[in-house]
Amino acid sequence: MTSPTFPSPAWLVGCGNMAGAMVDGWRAAGIDLSPVLAIRPSGTPVDGVRTVTALPAGESPAFVMLGFKPQKLDQVVPGLAPRLGPATILVSLLAGVEAATLRQRFPTVRAIVRAMPNLPVAQRRGVIALYTGDRDSEALATVEALMTALGVAPVVATEAEFSAIGAVAGSGPAYVARFVEALAAGGEGIGLTPDLAAQVALETLIGTAAMAAATGLPMSELARRVASPKGTTEAGLAILDAPDGLKPLIARMLAAAIARGRELASAARG
């Protein structure tokens, strides 16, 4: 299988935690990063790519990925938009900033693709939602190939679906980390030392994920296999499965993430 390639030149405008994790994943996949330039006002180096503090003079980029905070969009647009042309594929990681808003700010670009990755892209086990309102199948295929090298990259038909995947997968590692942290704290509460509780909780997560990946079993079946009738696990599951237990808590958590995304979209439109 041929390795995906970056259109040249390619700019990463902003390269914080998420974009940096993507670079790590591309490096691990053996993708040629020589056409890629990271533009970071701080000048902090990005391993594997040349890093500069300002937009370079000269030619327009063929590929641009926006990796800064969405609140900085209108600070970046005046300097960046004139540099982009009808050959530029624009990929946006900006949470909540809709495709129509991006098209308004960057009217001349060839295609705009929104991408919502999560941090496991660094290990090439990420989920990267993709959405475009443009009918440029070649441009989408270019972006999809690069993102598929980092994990699963579903292309969705609506921005509502895109936001839903962002709430579940984009934010999900933070939520899972909180659950593991809470499980470790619970272990401390029943007598384990902090270090041992943290180790046990993390390895339980890793082992369960590995078992799920290897077997392909649904989560309900994995839980059933652990929980003996009238046993200790079943007693604990009764708490999680109660009407005021885990599912309504998760529903409120995701609703809060979606609501914040709508606020960001409204601010960007304004």
Q: Where do you find CATH 1.10.3730.10 in the chain?
A: 172-265
Angle at which helix 194-215 crosses helix 219-226, to 10 degrees, equals 120
Q: What is the pLDDT of residues 159-206, one digit of tens each?
A: 999 999 999 999 999 999 999 999 999 999 999 999 999 999 999 999
In sequence order, what are the residues at sequence separation of 6 or more whose Cβ sits closer than 8 angstroms to the Cβ of residue 17? Answer: 119
Query: 47 is written with which tokens?
Result: 């391993």
Q: What is the pLDDT of residues 70-93, one digit of tens each?
A: 999 999 999 999 999 999 999 999
pTM, rounded to two decimals: 0.91
Q: Where do you find CATH 3.40.50.720 in the chain?
A: 10-156
Angle at which helix 194-215 crosses helix 172-189, to 10 degrees, equals 130
CATH of 10-156, one of 3.40.50.970, 3.40.50.300, 3.40.50.720, 3.20.20.150: 3.40.50.720
Give the pLDDT confidence score for residue 94 in this predicted structure: 96
Q: What is the 3-state secondary structure (H, E, C) of 45-96?
A: CECCEEEECCCCCCCCCCEEEECCCHHHHHHHHHHHHHHCCCCCEEEECCCC
Tell me the average pLDDT of the chain. 95
Is the separation of the CB atoms in 114 and 92 below 8 Å? yes
172-265 belongs to which CATH class? Answer: mainly alpha
Please list the ranges in the chain whose pLDDT falls under 70. Answer: 1
